[in-house]
Structure 1
Amino acid sequence: MIPINELLLFSLAALVLAISPGPNMIYLVSRSITQGKKAGVISLLGVICGFLFHIIMVSFGLTAVLFAVPMAYTILKTIGVIYLLYLAFQAIKPNSNGIFETQGNLSIDKPNKLFRTGLLTNVLNPKTAVFYLSFFPQFIKPEYGSIFTQSIQLGFTQIVVSFSVNLMVVLTASKISVFFSNNPVWVKVQKRFMAGVLTTLAVKMAFTKVN
């Protein structure tokens, strides 16, 4: 089992992923504003099932790759560091979108389409795949036990964090969107805070060594 301190650090990384603008967040916020909280929750369930798809694929893949190619750890770590720094830049670059800066002009869809769209939005989301492939190896250690079991543990930790954050977003999307629209200073604060956390995680990952 992965130690609790490692899981807490991973949870922080998962939190940053959950609150950073991307296809999942944009879709959920837009859907919640356009069609209401119920539609947002149904869409969120589809997104969560998309996470399960990524977890299964990555868990089996990492188990094979990390045993067969030791250099894969270094390669994935490098990708992870570059990816974090890229997200940090995206957060503070001029004219970048905030979490709740989205268009509420979607059509009204039935529950099955809401779920399916949420599922496909996440399954086809490259940010999710890159996160799993680059972050999981940093927290998986042979001395903690089965690599597959550790991957599943990390995956479900990420799902719990993502579901909690996105459920809160879905339930409060309209009010928070109005707040940020009326308080542009807080948008800048949110972006700089996110960039700082992402950069800190990148530095930590860069100096992490495999045991």
Structure 2
Amino acid sequence: MFGIHDLALFVVSGLLLNIMPGPDSLLIMTRSATQGWRAGSAAALGIGTGTFVHIVAAALGLSAILATSAAAFTVVKLAGAAYILYLAVGMLLSKRGDGVEKPLTVTPLPLRRIYAQGILTNVLNPKVALFFLAFVPQFIDANAPHKAAAFLILGAIFNINGMLWCHALALFTAQARARLKLNPAVTQWLNRATGGLFVWLGVKLALAKPH
């Protein structure tokens, strides 16, 4: 249907790609570990929204601009790197809670703000756009009459699978946090360690090249 082929291979490949660690996974785990599964779920939903933006953009051909325009790629990647570094600074400067009554390491962020962080972390990463342009077309026949529709269908399948994984990761991290009963000092260290990883990811993105 719609010229889609090897759907089972696409689903399995997509799941394996979603499991690979990156800034999205780190954001979900950090929010789940510090504020519980609802916060991790909000981050996951934001990431899913950002992925949907990339899918629609790629289906409409907008992401091709990033693949062919060095200037456009540079602008987006620097904006993404700056935002990831902004998140990293917030984690590195996080303060310890007041004790047992407040086990969180940082002042809890509103869920809508965490959701927005998820969107921006994903949307401002041009590598995601280039990934969809390179990966999804491999499962669409060259002579398919409705390539854009096929692209959207495959993108939706990829995103649904990704959301299942992201929410499972949020739940697992939150449950691990509850079982380990991390004290404020340990969770503060977790925030700062994640902040350090975000610094590395931000610098890596800033130095990324289109190909």
Q: Give the greater-gyration-radius structure (CA).
A: 2
SS in 2 for 1:61: coil
- Across the aligned residues of Structure 1 and Structure 2, the Cα RMSD in angstroms comes to 3.0
Q: Which residue is 1:96 aligned to? A: none
CA distance in 2, matches of 1:118, 1:109: 13
Structure 1 residues 106, 4: CA separation in 2 closer, same or farther (over 3 Å shift)?
farther
**Identity between Structure 1 and Structure 2 (%):** 32
CA distance in 1, matches of 2:113, 2:139: 36
1:101-128 deviation line (CA, Å, top 9, x unaligned) = xxx9665211221111011011012442
CA distance in 1, matches of 2:10, 2:62: 17
Q: Which residue is 1:38 aligned to? A: 38
CA distance in 2, matches of 1:3, 1:163: 25
**1:130 CA drift (Å):** 2.8
Q: Which residue is 2:6 aligned to? A: 6
CA distance in 2, matches of 1:105, 1:125: 28
Query: Residues 31-180 of structure 1: matches in 2 within 5 Å?
Result: 31-61=31-61, 107-175=107-175
Structure 1 residues 122, 63: CA separation in 2 closer, same or farther (over 3 Å shift)?
closer
CA distance in 2, matches of 1:7, 1:176: 34
Structure 2 unaligned runs (5+)?
69-103, 181-211
CA distance in 2, matches of 1:171, 1:146: 38
**1:57 CA drift (Å):** 0.7
Structure 1 residues 63, 167: CA separation in 2 closer, same or farther (over 3 Å shift)?
closer
Q: Higher helix fraction: Structure 1 or Structure 2? A: 1
SS in 2 for 1:142: coil
**1:143 CA drift (Å):** 3.7
Structure 1 residues 138, 41: CA separation in 2 closer, same or farther (over 3 Å shift)?
same
Q: Is the 8 A contact 1:30 1:105 kept in 2?
A: no
**1:11 CA drift (Å):** 1.3
1:119-160 deviation line (CA, Å, top 9, x unaligned) = 101101244223201102211113443110111011101011
Structure 1 residues 2, 8: CA separation in 2 closer, same or farther (over 3 Å shift)?
farther
Q: Is the 8 A contact 1:37 1:170 kept in 2?
A: yes
CA distance in 2, matches of 1:63, 1:42: 26
